[in-house]
A and B are shown apart, each in its own frame.
Chain A
Amino acid sequence: MSADTWRKISIAVAVHVAFVAVWWLAVILADVPEFILPTPWLALQTLGEENYNWVRHFSITAQEIFGGYILAVVVGVTFAVLTTWSRRLDEMLTPLLVTLNMIPKVAMAPLFIVWLRFGIQTNIVITFTICFFPILLNTARGLREVEPELLDLVKSLHGNRWQVFTKIQLPGALPYVFSGMKVATVLAVAGAIVGEFIQSDGGLGWFMLITQEALNTDAMVMALMLVTLIGVLLYGSVILLERIFVVQDARVE
């Protein structure tokens, strides 16, 4: 890695450490009661509490986030390809998808519980519905953004539609797929947690509701940090995949 990369990484780490330090200092200096905001150290100590079942809750929430997210990527990209491939399908599906996108996804949750019953699968579906649209819309935009002269080039060689698709459209859309995927990471985390608020018997969102009743703010804060960690892991994996598969110059910020 270049010196510049290391510089950027060290700045990022330093800023995070500073953030925690400010939090810590603020709590001590202002003498904030523990049940309002614990110090980072107090929150961290709750990890030693076996009754809290951290591993179980962490794993449930991670499954919901990653499960719903991956499902959204697969289905979103597939739908984008279908609507781009067939004009008729585009004319039929796109207006419907625009309407469906207007449905507040979280408001679907009570229905999903009726349809899919109580459990982790329902939260996966809630996460999926919330992540699906940005991925679909971005991918479809990328697939359509083809230089007309490039099409001329292929046509002058009597190339077929499949060649245009596999050699130009699909690889050209990849940066847009990642752009949609990056937007969807934030939504995935929110979707899973809200899902847990509405229905669940486990997961970090559920755990926050339970610990709130006992005013165990330190455990709540710890749960929040773990949810954020899952989000960061998801975002990090997307960035990593983008670095592997998308040439620097083609990336969409």
Chain B
Amino acid sequence: MSEAFISLKDVRKVYRTRTEEFEAIQSITMDVQAGELVSIVGPSGCGKSTLLKILAGLHPHDGGDVRIGSAAEPFDPSRDIGMVFQQPLLLKWRRIRENVLLPAEILGLPKKEARERADDLLQMVGLAGFEQSYPYELSGGMQQRAAIARALVHDPKLILMDEPFGALDALTRERMNIELLRIWQESQKTILFVTHGIQEAVFLGSHVAVMTSGPARLAEHMEIDLPEDRDLAIKTDEKFGEYTRHIYKLLDLD
């Protein structure tokens, strides 16, 4: 196996207030290969979001080793991160295309190319024709599609998604899962996808990292051996059921 794109060794994170320490992550050791979609699943307070913030360079870690990038896939921390949050967080006063262009503006990328890329991406996420709309004219699911296009506009190598479909209704969420799989396959990005949903985690992930709380640590990092072209029917597949049952067990939910 080639050198991993992301390599985490015994990563630890502690938040300190004046009076007490809180161990947000006790220990995570995990390798992620370029082009994988890793679902990170676990209960609240297991350090999932903290891990994303460490990878995004927003928080320092307090112990262990974090390495992103490899000889084959060099990583520039200032421009190779794309982020999607639970809320779309589009700027209300900008049209959809201008919203998608925000990262390109911050990085000072050439305007014309960025604009073409933004329109291509809007096409890819199914928002062709909405370039000139304002966010409030779009449904929640459509806004989240725009947020995904925004995370891709500067062509980053790593996409970090923090419960991106958590605020959507169940049906829209299923649809967005299928869309995300397609976008992932088309864009060939490495994606880390944080979720509370075990079914969602298995359905999307080429790998699933299961985290437990108290102490916050990685319980298991498993490969999901299901075909790459998945549709919702796979959720009734026996193998799919085995994976989800196994995760329920890891999380003490069975």
Contact = CB atoms under 8 A, between A and B. Distances in A.
Interface of A: 147, 149-150, 152-159, 163, 167-168, 171-172, 174, 246-250
A149 B79 contact: no
Interface of B: 53, 56-58, 77-79, 81, 83, 85, 87, 89, 91-93, 102-103, 105-107, 134-136, 154
Contacts of A159: 106
Contacts of B91: 167-168, 171-172
Residue of A156, A172, A247, A250 with most chain B CB atoms under a 10 A cut-off: A156
Contacts of B56: 152, 155-156
A156 B105 contact: no
Interface of B is mostly: loop
A195 to B, nearest CB: 37
A249 B78 contact: no
Nearest to A152: B58
Contact of A167 (B58, B85, B106, B134): B106
Contacts of B81: 156-157
Contacts of B57: 155-156
Contacts of A163: 105-106
A168 B134 CA distance: 16
A123 B26 CA distance: 66
B104 to A, nearest CB: 10
Contacts of A149: 85, 87, 89
A247 B134 contact: yes
Given A150-B89, A153-B103, 11 more contacts: A152-B83, A156-B57, A156-B83, A157-B81, A157-B154, A158-B77, A158-B79, A163-B105, A172-B91, A174-B93, A250-B93
A159 B103 CA distance: 9
Contacts of B85: 149, 153
A59 B63 CA distance: 71
22 contacts: A150-B89, A152-B53, A153-B85, A153-B102, A154-B106, A156-B57, A156-B81, A156-B83, A157-B78, A157-B79, A157-B107, A158-B78, A167-B102, A172-B91, A172-B92, A246-B93, A247-B92, A247-B93, A248-B136, A249-B92, A249-B135, A250-B92
